[in-house]
Amino acid sequence: MKRAILGGIAFVAAAAIAIPTVAMAQGGAPPPPPATYYGKAPSGISAGQGVIAIVIDGQSSTACGAGAALTDPATNNVVYVVDVAADGQIPGCGKDGRSVMFYFTPTSASSGRLATDVVSWSGAGPVNKDLTGLGPQLTRVGIAPQAASDGPTF
């Protein structure tokens, strides 16, 4: 009976050691954590608006996170918070040398707007960045359904 218990314990211990080794060999390491940008939202942003983090790499850009504008109960200021994925989580996202921009989504009263502040990616973890300004309102584009007139089909 003791041999069976000791054999079972040895088997469990060997499995516990082998599983992480196999996972690492198969590329199963977890991706790097995101960066969390937060701070005061620019004047003109209201609580409840969404914020999208856009990472710029040369001529390309990738939407890398979504967050929200909220009211800070301690100061009654509108603040924002958004997690920005690392390149290992979403290709094209946060990596040294890349910039992060913040887009505040439209509401029923106004079009979406980009913050004028641009932040350099600084790696995983919290980053306090107060945003100071907004660019011009972006134009809404209405798309209407269209019917093709290719002629009769037989």
Query: Which CATH number describes the domain made up of 35-128?
Result: 2.60.40
Q: 101 vs 107, which has greater pLDDT?
A: 101
Q: How does pLDDT run across 80-96, given as a tens digit for each residue?
A: 999 999 999 999 999 99
Cα separation, 35 vs 76, in Å, equals: 25
Nearest alpha-carbon partner for 51 in 141, 131, 143, 136: 131
At residue 31 the predicted structure's pLDDT band, cuts being 50, 70 and 90, is confident
- pLDDT confidence of 110, banded at 50, 70, 90? confident
Percent of the chain having pLDDT more than 70?
A: 73
